[in-house]
Structure 1
Amino acid sequence: MDKGDAGVRLTQDNMLIEIDVPIAMDDGVVLRADIFRPVEAGNYPVIISYGPYGKGLPFQTGYKTAWDIMACEHPDAVAGTSSKYANWEVVDPEKWVPDGYAVVRVDSRGAGRSPGYLDHHSRRETQDFYDCIEWAGAQPWSNGKVGLNGISYYATNQWRVAGLAPPHLAAICVWEGYADRYRDATHHGGIACTFQKNWQEMQVKSVQHGRGDNGPRSPLTGDTVCGPSTLSEQEMEHNRSKLWPEIIDNAFDGDFYRVRSADWAKVKVPLLSCGNWGGQGLHLRGNIEGFVHAASEQKWLEMHGGSHWALFYTDYGVDLQKRFFDRFLKGKQNGWEKQPPVQLQIRYPGEKFVLRHEGEWPIARTNWSRAYLYGETLVAEAPQGGAAQVTFDATGEGVTFRAPPLKESLEITGPLAAKLYVSSSTVDADVFLIFRVFDRAGDEVVFQGALDPHTPVAQGWLRASHRELDPVRSLPYRPWHAHASAQPLVPGDIYELDIEIWPTSIVIPAGYSYGLTVRGTDYEYAGPAATLSNMKNPMKGCGPFVHDDPEDRPSDIFGGKTTLHIGGRHAPYVLLPIVPPKQES
């Protein structure tokens, strides 16, 4: 092992490894990167990632329960590797370097071994990522083609940097990465999601640059994961953005969120977008919207289920990624162009998935069907009776409308939407929609979500004062809310609400039924809560994506009574994407 100002250099496990390689930014700040590449001299395509989770922190240490679940349920994810270089949400170099790739991991500004001011998803971070891509593409061991790959933070920043069109950028694989900072992440239907507050505390502050001796050490080098200096808590706080106060202060969409979101018209690089049906609350929406709206002429969508992290490392995930990158980074004629634009893992109860390819999203043969709310049921035809009302306590469990048991199986795959007519006892109301499935005994069927093992089929949200639609961007199956200003309610007056429900896939067996729950608080699973070591609170059905901040949801406004108006002039419904079987050619 050699150690100098340029970092550590060693050869082991048939890789040439360089630790803490300096990459100078245009403002003089020097970021630090780890590089894994073949021992044999040559020019190799580069897989690069840039993010805040500490490149020297082992997956097994920093995210122990997630690692244990993956190793138990997906043994192929940890097969064929020593896992010594495994790192949360980025590729395992031992699975890529033997196939002729160079893997570069960069600690983002202010995180891990990279100094500077930590400002998540900012314009500065995006420019840093651009500079790192260009640096990697110009190295003597690079073939000049750089690909981006990684999960979550390492995926969402791909949307933004791809919009800057770095010349060396050749392809991106956005694996469970949101695109719209406001709609996908911080505010669901205009309601603030507290995940961001807890995320920074649990996953970022623990590896912020300057933690030094107060933080973890790398088992590879024995050095501190979070830089050589040990700063005070006051200095650490001064060196990072005030994430949650910024979100609360920016309650509406605008420039603050636009610079932290994708500009799809500028994303033109070959694209593989991989989303998770269970990713309600963060990445799911962005993966689909990004695929649909990106300007890339060569783009593909893949949708799967299961946990947020595991499938990325499995044989299924790695094979998909390598076929994509082999084509666009190595120029290999491997038949990737024959890959259909849409690859779906169609979901069935019991965590069963069946692979199917489609030519577009939404699926062209979809039968868009309305299920109308009536009494306590969902019916196929608009009810003709007189006006009726259903009132519920906004802090309670709400009301559930259930369709009768199915006579034959039914596939619902695609985006959903609802139209409701609502009045409130106060000047506002938060509406939470949960699309649910019930088995023959009447028990709810839940699934392994991205994080929570007891996730319902689909969810949607809307703050009634944010009901204004963008008429240009709205679609019947995907309302698009402007979130530009508040339009308070007059207590007792009736308002029409169009509510987006994030996409899903489920084949409901005969004898099962489906339903829609309307409530004023987050969904809660009736069984025991689940935990992950990197999550602050037990998960009760929505994972960490809950909406319970008292500053955003004061009880005097959002703790009143909400009334649904049904019948007469009002015909509320949920729009379902019912997909018939493919016709054999």
Structure 2
Amino acid sequence: MNVSRIPIRIVQVLTVVFCFLLFACTSDSNDSENPASTGGVTASSESTRTVLMLGTRSSQSRPVQVIEANEGQWTSYERAEDFPSTVTLPKGFIRMRDGIELAYTVTLPANESAQPIPAETYPAILIQTAYNKAAGAFVPAIGGADPFMVKRGYATVVVDVRGTGNSQGVWDAFGEKEQGDYSEVVDWVISQPWSNQTVGVYGVSYLGISAILTAAKNHPAVKAAFPIVPIGDGYRDIVFTGGQVNPTFIPLWMGLVTGLGVVPFDALQTDPARGIELLVSHLLNGVVQFQVPTILKALLGENETAFDGEFWKTRSPLEQADNIKVPTFIVGGLRDLFQRSEPMWFEQLKGQTTAKLLIGPWTHIESAGIPSDGLPRDGVPTLQQIQLMWFDQYLKGMDVGADKLPNVTQYVLGHEKYVTASDWPHPGVQATEFYLRGDKSLKPEPAEAMEASSVILQAPLFGLCSSSTSQWTAGALGLLPISCNTEDTFNQIPSANFRTPVLTEDLYINGPIAADVWITTTGREAALSVRLSSYDPATGRSKSISNGLLTASHRAVDDTKSRFMNGLRIQPWHPFTKEAVLPVQPGAPMLLPVEIFSTAAVIPKGHQLQVSINSSNLPQGLQPVPQLLGGLLGAINILNSDEHRSKIVLPVVPTSALSQ
């Protein structure tokens, strides 16, 4: 069978089905627990500034430089093809410093006869994938050349990262050796006779992460970056959110790398002996020695994997953000796997280079156009047009106005439109407190006496029928026509639900969110899942907005790295190290500062803001076995009193900003 004739749409559907089958196979004076509750670290003197940027493992939080002006406007960018056709050169290998060979494919502009044009040179778009460039020939999002860009004068180089596809070596998911390859690949690209010594890095998901890590190498030939849905912090974004291992996407993702990246299709066809050797090597080294042990160690709570440290620092690109000096366009999604970090990329880069941010309503696969990204919409053109504009400006040197695009463009849930802003966090944002009260209300006024507590059961199975199921399967299960993909109505049944009074005007929130929840537990461990939604009292249904997760023993906060906004802590930094673990004593009050991922949403008038709290969110996280056993079949009391003021801290923006 000639696989090159398989329609791309069929391959896209098969990819989604494959993923589905894999899935199936504190801040104020009354809120201080004790000195140990923050791991012995006190708030820095900077915490009273208007906004502090969240720190990293190697840097403390610092004041944000606010960009007030926003002159940028979206325009549709069109340009005719420069060349009538494309041509793919014979495939080959790039030898690395340690003798390992990486497989590459080069696609160039061509003449009417689909032949290379002698003496022509081009800027190159570099894509580095773990999903096998052979598969990318059918689904470009996972590693293929885009004829739209090639015909407009760009060479495209696609490389299988070490240990995947037709490349030699051991795959270890953005490890030091893989990152060490990136600059050597750029060296090879600019040494080619068709190269004009100018490179742009591009890609979706894994490919976007390798792109932004390549930009961080600060190679002089790399002039621009266009990463789509890149991770920021491997530990906090997804793998161990709140100290809990992700049981859905991580096995699914490693299975996807195995299913697509292990088999060296090209080598098996052209050199069967080499192909078999690579297949055995990928299975033994990548799967047996890395993938399976890593998953098992995470679930069993092995120290170097289950706690934050050098392993995760290496795989957290935000740690290298200071090295990125090239113009960078970040694309994110409100339902994406890396929802937490994508706006922080803009925040980190805006002071050192030209940076732009676009966040759509997307899940992970929707950002790749599966089944659709919904663009153009509200004046925002297609991602393909934006990419062309970006690379035309910064690789070809054409003055096309890419630098004058809006700094920040976000889809706003509830408003259901894209809205632009000059900065992120929004210049008009103010941290605002709402307190959880004993009558299940959310009010700006705290409790002045002991009020009724709320009891929830400790069980690891909640959240299965919620928007998290879609989000943490990368959007694969979101393709099913069920209400759970967008609603939290079913999931709120076992939760303690707190609601504001019916709103008399719209409430616009945009940015990170914090929940400071006081609890007691009957177990030796506990966890909280805190979910925000827009509740319609007329129908009794709720639309999800965002959520957060935290294991009680990981409740320590380092306030020298946390984000403060007008004096309130709105994004706690948890160390998640073994040394920072705090004991959980049955019956003893504990403050759990839960980080809720950044979002942009309007709760319309006539609705209520709802905060739903329960003890787990299985699609997003499962406690490692030692912690899980310590909290099974217990109960949690959510406290509300003058001494234990549970609250949520929201980033509130004036609704007038929605019309800007």
TM-score band, normalised by the shorter chain?
0.7 to 0.9
Residue 341 of structure 2 aligns to a residue whose secondary structure is: helix
**2:89 is matched by which residue type in structure 1?**
E
Count residues with an aligned counterpart: 508
Q: Does 1:309 align with 2:406?
A: no
Q: Does 1:474 align with 2:537?
A: no
**1:293 is matched by which residue type in structure 2?**
Q
Q: Which runs of 5+ in 2 are unaligned?
A: 1-82, 111-116, 370-374, 376-380, 463-493, 564-568
Q: Which residue matches 1:367?
A: 430
Give 1:159 shift. 3.4
- Quote the Cα distance in structure 2 between the aligned partners of 1:167 and 1:360: 28
Q: Which runs of 5+ in 1 are unaligned?
A: 1-11, 59-83, 447-455, 524-544
Distance 1:418-1:337 versus aligned 2 partners, 3 A rule: same
Q: Which residue matches 1:182?
A: 235
What's the CA shift string for 1:521-558, capped at 9, x where partnerless?
A: 117xxxxxxxxxxxxxxxxxxxxx43236626533434
Tell me if the contact between 1:387 and 1:569 (Cα under 8 Å) persists in the aligned partners.
no
Tell me if the contact between 1:91 and 1:149 (Cα under 8 Å) persists in the aligned partners.
no
Q: Which residue matches 1:145?
A: 198
- Quote the Cα distance in structure 2 between the aligned partners of 1:89 and 1:104: 13
Q: Does 1:507 align with 2:596?
A: no
- Quote the Cα distance in structure 2 between the aligned partners of 1:500 and 1:225: 51
Give 1:227 shift. 6.7
Residue 257 of structure 2 aligns to a residue whose secondary structure is: helix
1:436-451 correspondence runs (5 A): 436-446=533-543
Distance 1:225-1:427 versus aligned 2 partners, 3 A rule: farther
* Pairwise CA RMSD: 2.7
Q: Which residue matches 1:108?
A: 161
Q: Does 1:238 align with 2:238?
A: no
Give 1:479 shift. 1.0
Give 1:225 shift. 11
TM-score between both structures, scaled by the size of structure 2:
0.72
Identity within the alignment, %: 24
Q: Does 1:405 align with 2:502?
A: yes
Q: Which residue matches 2:552?
A: 464
The structure richer in strand per residue is 1
Q: Does 1:274 align with 2:331?
A: yes
**2:296 is matched by which residue type in structure 1?**
P
Tell me if the contact between 2:205 and 2:228 (Cα under 8 Å) persists in the aligned partners.
yes
What's the CA shift string for 1:339-384, capped at 9, x where partnerless?
A: 23212222337xx3x2222111110112322121112121122132
Distance 1:506-1:159 versus aligned 2 partners, 3 A rule: same
- Quote the Cα distance in structure 1 between the aligned partners of 2:572 and 2:179: 29
Tell me if the contact between 1:52 and 1:107 (Cα under 8 Å) persists in the aligned partners.
yes
Give 1:129 shift. 2.0
Tell me if the contact between 2:103 and 2:159 (Cα under 8 Å) persists in the aligned partners.
yes
- Quote the Cα distance in structure 2 between the aligned partners of 1:297 and 1:232: 42
Q: Does 1:435 align with 2:545?
A: no
Distance 1:552-1:121 versus aligned 2 partners, 3 A rule: farther
- Quote the Cα distance in structure 1 between the aligned partners of 2:239 and 2:86: 40
Distance 1:246-1:169 versus aligned 2 partners, 3 A rule: farther
Match of 1:251 among 306, 311, 322: 306
Q: Which residue matches 2:397?
A: 331
Tell me if the contact between 1:367 and 1:580 (Cα under 8 Å) persists in the aligned partners.
no
Q: Which residue matches 2:650?
A: 576
- Quote the Cα distance in structure 1 between the aligned partners of 2:392 and 2:429: 34
- Quote the Cα distance in structure 2 between the aligned partners of 1:24 and 1:233: 20
**1:432 is matched by which residue type in structure 2?**
S
- Quote the Cα distance in structure 1 between the aligned partners of 2:392 and 2:141: 23
The structure richer in helix per residue is 2
Q: Which has the higher contact order (CA 8 A, sep 6+)?
A: 2
What's the CA shift string for 1:97-152, capped at 9, x where partnerless?
A: 11111111111111111121111110111111221122213322122121111111
1:189-268 correspondence runs (5 A): 189-195=242-248, 197-209=250-262, 211=263, 228-229=275-276, 236-240=283-287, 241=290, 242-247=293-298, 248-249=301-302, 250-262=305-317, 263-268=320-325
Q: Does 1:285 align with 2:340?
A: yes
**1:29 is matched by which residue type in structure 2?**
I
Give 1:304 shift. 0.9
**1:467 is matched by which residue type in structure 2?**
R
1:48-87 correspondence runs (5 A): 48-57=126-135, 85-87=138-140
Tell me if the contact between 2:524 and 2:630 (Cα under 8 Å) persists in the aligned partners.
no
- Quote the Cα distance in structure 2 between the aligned partners of 1:362 and 1:225: 54
Distance 1:239-1:413 versus aligned 2 partners, 3 A rule: closer
